Amino acid sequence: MYFSSKKKGGFDSSDGNDEDGYGDDIYAVVKTSTGWGVPSTLPEPINTYGNDGTATFSGDGQIMAYVGCGRDEGIGSCDLYIAELEGNTWTRPTNMGDMVNHEDWDSQPAMTADGNTILFVSDREGGYGEVDIWMTKKNKFGQWGVAVNLGEVINTPFDEYSPFLSPDGKTLYFSSEGHPGFGGSDIFKSTFSEGKWTEPVNLGAPLNTSGDDRFFTIGGSGEIGYFASDREGGYGSLDIYSIEIPEEMRPQPTVVVSGVVTNAKTKDPIGAWVLIEDINTGEMISVNKSNEETGQYLVVLPAGRNYSVSANKEAFFFYSQLFEVPKTSQYQEITKNIELKPIEKGAKVVLNNIFFDTGKATLTSDSKLELNKAFDLMKQNPSMIIEVGGHTDNVGNDDYNMKLSHDRAKSVREYLVNAGINSERIQAKGYGETSPVATNDTEEGRAANRRTEFVILEF
């Protein structure tokens, strides 16, 4: 867990209040089987002799946004900064610039799991109250867009604080002094539905009290929330609490896929691009990168869509996997280690997301993402000559399966040739049921045997 705590002598980045003479540093603490450990400050260049606080992270932990105050390059009194984890070291933070930051006070960022959206609070002009919640999105070029106000359904003539957008990308939690509540500031929930935010709902007692309750975040499962409160019985002004969240107040379920990306030949971890795409629409959901030193990656898949999760790196074959996450899914964590095979003569890989109509050689529309990746690979490697191999399970007679596998391999070849790859660079061959990679005694095994393979003949 990462949290902010005040140190003597400085400006409070969380609320712009310098009356008590304390500023902020960012701390990390690890939970073990025996409880929470001893907090430690994040090293430079994240924490400085200035004031740093309210850190937020992308779902994979590789991108951090946080607040730095009173800096020479600052635009306002407190600005938002971005840093990235390279191996085990954070890059030097960069100011998010005047498209996001304002000459007034900006603070309390909350980054979405995909790293593409940041909510934050600001007391700039143009809002509905003194402190409002604002939002900025990253465009397709990786640049942060102009900050926009979240609107009057969320913001009131009073102060709103500490937004948090859950991993489902739709459920917003925030604190407000303007919506009806129990005390100074209460925690509320709103959902983005049909292009607008729903009327905020108070999370109620015992989470909210007659005092100030702020900085709510929720774990991946949606069951446990963490927040800060100045209620009686604490150790200081604002203390950190945890609470079990009622079913009706939880966000939509998500599936977390994580693992390690390695070189299939050397077993060394590698930093590869990990892409999440909607397999039905082709929409790019997010672009992540596995850690350069550990190879670790993590992606969050909100319920209600079918995804292609793929990994690629220059000089390696790409890898992709289909994940179906229906709206009725429950929270789950999936470990999927990925081995990327170097591009070299004799290398063989399975294209997991090539699909055909049952008993036919007709490619389905869901195959387009994978086929386009194969096209890009061959275009980037013009000396590559491949064999497309078609394989079936053992259902049906041998001759039928041999012909079906050959026709399916031809369909893949024709797609790539029609897309612009020289026909002399692609051979198609059917293997029928002769080369199984799993047992044909189970449905899972038969599904593994029904596959399309690429074999590099020349490179």
The domain spans of the chain are: 2-249, 253-342, 343-459
How confident is the model at residue 20, as a pLDDT?
Answer: 47
Please say whether the beta carbons of 381 and 459 come within 8 A: yes
What mean pLDDT is predicted for residues 394-399?
93
What mean pLDDT is predicted for residues 244-254?
91
Distance in angstroms (rounded) separating the CA atoms of residues 167 and 48: 30
Cα dihedral value 224, 88, 10, 69, nearest 10: -90
How confident is the model at residue 267, as a pLDDT?
Answer: 96
Distance in angstroms (rounded) separating the CA atoms of residues 235 and 251: 30
Backbone angles phi, psi at 238, to 5 degrees: -120, 125
Distance in angstroms (rounded) separating the CA atoms of residues 88 and 85: 6
Percentage of residues in the chain having pLDDT higher than 90 = 75
Render pLDDT for 356-365 as a digit per residue (tens, 0 to 9): 998 899 999 9
| Fold: same for 2-249 and 343-459 | no
Q: How is domain 2-249 classified at the CATH fold level?
A: Neuraminidase (2.120.10)
- What's the CATH code, domain 253-342? 2.60.40.2190
How confident is the model at residue 10, as a pLDDT?
Answer: 44
Distance in angstroms (rounded) separating the CA atoms of residues 430 and 452: 10
Decide if pLDDT at 19 tops 50: no
Render pLDDT for 58-71 as a digit per residue (tens, 0 to 9): 999 999 999 999 88
pLDDT grade, residue 8 (50/70/90)? low
- What's the CATH code, domain 343-459? 3.30.1330.60
How confident is the model at residue 48, as a pLDDT?
Answer: 84
Please say whether the beta carbons of 241 and 224 come within 8 A: no
Mean model confidence pLDDT for the chain: 91
Render pLDDT for 111-135 as a digit per residue (tens, 0 to 9): 999 899 999 999 999 999 999 999 9
Please say whether the beta carbons of 425 and 350 come within 8 A: no
Least confident segment among 3-7, 269-273, 423-427: 3-7
Cβ partners under 8 Å of residue 364, min gap 6: 355, 356, 357
Stated pTM of the model? 0.85
Q: How many CA atoms lie within 13 A of 141 on its CB side?
A: 3
Render pLDDT for 182-239 as a digit per residue (tens, 0 to 9): 878 999 999 999 999 999 999 999 999 999 999 999 988 889 999 999 999 999 889 9
Decide if pLDDT at 146 tops 80: yes
Render pLDDT for 298-342 as a digit per residue (tens, 0 to 9): 999 888 889 999 999 999 999 998 888 888 888 889 999 999 999
**Which residues of 268-318 form beta strands (DSSP E)?**
273-278, 284-289, 296-302, 305-312
Percentage of residues in the chain having pLDDT higher than 70 = 97
How confident is the model at residue 13, as a pLDDT?
Answer: 55
Beta strands 338-340; 254-263: pairing state: parallel
The sign of the CA dihedral 272, 278, 284, 285 is: negative
